[in-house]
Amino acid sequence: MEVGSTEAGPDAGALAARILGGTSIVVTGTRGSGRSHVLRAVTRELEHRGATTIVLRAASALSAQPYGAREAAAHPVLSALRDRSDDGGVMDEVLVVDDVELLDLASARVLARAIASRRLTAVVALRTARPRGIEPVGEGDEVRRSFLDLGVEELAQRIDLADLTDDDAYAFIAGFPDVALVDSTTRAGLVWRADGSRTLLSHLMRQATDDARAGRDPLAALRAIAPHSPLAVALERHVAEMPPTDLQILAGVRRLPRLDSAVATRLFDAEGIQALVARGLLHTDASPQRRLTANDLVAQEAQRRVGTAATDALVEAAGRRMLSEADEWWSPPVAVALAQRWHRLGPEASGEGAVPPALRARVALDAAREANDRGDTGHAAAHAARGRRAVDTAPLRLEAQIAAGTVSALPSGDAGDDPLRLRIARSLAECEGAETVGHSPRERALADSRVGELLARATREGAHLDWCAAAETAGRAVAEAAATPAARLRALVSAGTAEAVAGRWRHATTYYRGAERMLAARRAPAGLGARDRLAAVMYMLAGHQIAGADGTALHAMLEREMARTAREGGCGALRLAAAAAAIAFSAAGHAQESLRELESAMSRAPSAVADPDATMVALGVADELAMAGRLDEARAIVGRLDDLGAPLLRRSRLYVQTTILAVEGSRAAARNAARAAADLTRGRSAAALRIRDLFRLITLEAATDDEVDELVQLAATTDLPLAADAVRRASARSAAEQGLPVDELRLHALWSKTDAGDVPEPDATRDAPPPPTRGEGWGGLTARELEIAMMASAGLTNREIAARLFLSVRTVESHVYQARAKVGAPSRRELGRMVAAGVTGLEPRGTSGSASV
């Protein structure tokens, strides 16, 4: 028979009922699977139902002493148990034993016989090993077998607890105290590091909230765990059963991150690598090389167990082998580790001098590139200088220039400021003077260069609110057929976003679908990294928000990308993920979460997203904070921004200031700010922004007749999702609604939290009778009150109505309350029924006795 379960594990009530019926239970699971939690829940349920429980505590210190656990309990009922199963009668009490595998063999035999003979009903928890885990031998194995056999022979019911899935882990985190302190990227990182263990995740969350409260980066803090802390002890136990081979692999891959799988199998046990990948402790990216990264937390403990000297020896041996077989294979991670050793020990002690100059230069180039990518220009310069002393090559000179900030390879700016320009510069340097290199690599580098120039130009045009020109320029970048996948992806999302702001949503979605196909490819296009993918999702999120389109599916895509980034991305990718999450949460109306994500992106590195994009993200968060009434925080963000010279940024700041002023009740000042913002978009090709500005002027009663006509004309000539709704909402406002909360200024749709795989429900209001557009409707209700009442009659919740009408739940509740008072409806449900009947001409029947508030 199956026992019901909940998200937290097996149903404690169902288990308690089974136990009270005389069935013993053996709860099995790996370390950290929640066995103790289940036992505590079942014990509470048993005691709640009037049962008497006896808790027998097993301990390592007693496992070598015959009957040690039973005697330590000093319980008369347990003392009455004898080695012979026919002694004594049936026990009325229920025995509870956690970590039963720690019992001494004599106690285990007595308890197992008593359970098998039905003299004793018990619920015990038994730890099982993970795949490839070291199994106990001798008496320890016999103890385990004594209780496992009870389940096999159906003398007890066995309940197996599975490790946490990612979804389970996120649900676990959501219920944790102070979870609001932990940003999305940190949560994704903790979920992977927990390795499916509830115990580890619990300790990780406690430390993460402490670190976040103290202003520290929780993921960075995990690199230095205090010895003997609860987390350190839990981690030590978590890896205790791992075989030495697996520990060596994890320690080695941690020191050689992003190691190609083909190289890893040269250096480590291939079967062990496959097993660790299957278990999830090693992650392979989607590249053809299947690059490996290790679960950093578990690998850190593995390295401690293997020892620093032994790990260094593994890496040193890998470097020697690569140099001796350089004509056959080469690995940048191994080269980086080798260069770091040379840098630390010097040429004499490290043996660098015995390596041929060409190989020394090659090693130095990989190390300089890796350091520049991390922003560590000091070490990049040192590695480049060492390499140039061996052989002075164009790629090494380029890395030295990047480190010094003097790159002149591209007229568009410093290659170090942009990953795409960095790749272009490196590709061109590789081709310089290389007679054996064909034209194709150089053509791709030049095409990427043209893409970079075009997108930089499109950015300038957008900043000056000429989004039609920006869309045309970005479209030319998309047409560069020789561009690399990373450049093409960037061009697609830039063109899509430009088209969205220009008011051509159909064109925007065409570009976005092309980008989504690239991101959804089973095998990632060559050269497409975590930063490229996250930047693409971020731009598409912004485009959907600007156009007023639902970005729920994109938010789900972002969550998948964050999970991937937690496994394979660097610090730069985490910053981008936080910035993208800030956009997603602000679009969903979650002000606190959007601020948390913005602060995470800024704390990890303020330059994670380049201007003007970084400023636009910050202003979007500030606007959402103002909508939520958190004015001080909104003003603080606006006040931190530098001088906003570009028209786009000046207009966006005025837009946010309008919200702030409206919320604080300064209606005249809000009208002035809205007018100033609208003056900047007048006559510009930025339809999405212009519609918002006109809608605010109308909402604040500051629009001229020509501006009202302009909004209607824009709604007729653009296909933006927000266009028609702006006209509908503006025309539906009555004089009585002018003083309602500032949510009436919101125009973009509040995205839901529906999973991407869920099918949207049919529009329940599609067939409902249309409400009056102005004045008072049935029962003296305003147009808005009538509209909300009709939605309620169609079965929509307050939250669903709020999302459809771009209001807060609080505003909807206020409308419902006012409408109920006007028509005398005793409940929300009855309000909907009465209004629906009144609008359609049907007489309302008697009121229901049940209330739904």
Query: Which DSSP string corresponds to 79-111?
Result: HT--SSTTSS----SEEEEESGGGS-HHHHHHH
- DSSP symbols for 486-521: HHHHHHHHHHHHHHHHHT-HHHHHHHHHHHHHHHH-
pLDDT, tens digit, 9 for 90 and up, residues 679-711: 999 999 999 999 999 999 988 889 898 998 898
pLDDT, tens digit, 9 for 90 and up, residues 768-798: 333 333 344 566 788 778 888 888 888 888 8
Strand partners, 95: 54, 122
At residue 763 the predicted structure's pLDDT band, cuts being 50, 70 and 90, is: very low
Enter the tokens of residue 830: 């009855």
Of residues 778, 792, 597, the one with CA closest to residue 185: 597
- Residues whose CB is less than 8 angstroms from the CB of residue 735 and which lie 6 or more positions away in sequence, other chains included: none
683: left (phi over 0), alpha (psi -120 to 50) or beta: left
Looking at residue 850, its pLDDT comes to 30
How many angstroms separate the CA atoms of 849 and 847, rounded? 7
pLDDT, tens digit, 9 for 90 and up, residues 570-591: 666 777 888 888 888 888 888 8
Q: What are phi and psi of 127, to 5 degrees?
A: -80, 130
How many angstroms separate the CA atoms of 788 and 799, rounded? 11
Is it the case that residue 347 has pLDDT exceeding 70? yes
Residue 675 neighbours by CB distance under 10 Å: 17
Mean pLDDT for 189-193 is 93
Q: How many residues does the chain have?
A: 853
- CA-based Rg of the chain, rounded to a whole angstrom? 33
Total-model pTM: 0.76
At residue 741 the predicted structure's pLDDT band, cuts being 50, 70 and 90, is: very low
- Residues whose CB is less than 8 angstroms from the CB of residue 560 and which lie 6 or more positions away in sequence, other chains included: none
pLDDT, tens digit, 9 for 90 and up, residues 476-535: 999 998 888 999 999 999 999 999 999 999 999 999 999 999 998 877 777 788 888 889
Of residues 3, 2, 33, 28, the one with CA closest to residue 15: 3
How many angstroms separate the CA atoms of 271 and 256, rounded? 19
Supply angle C-alpha 673, 677, 679, rounded to 5: 115
Q: What proportion of the chain, given as a percentage, has pLDDT over 90?
A: 44
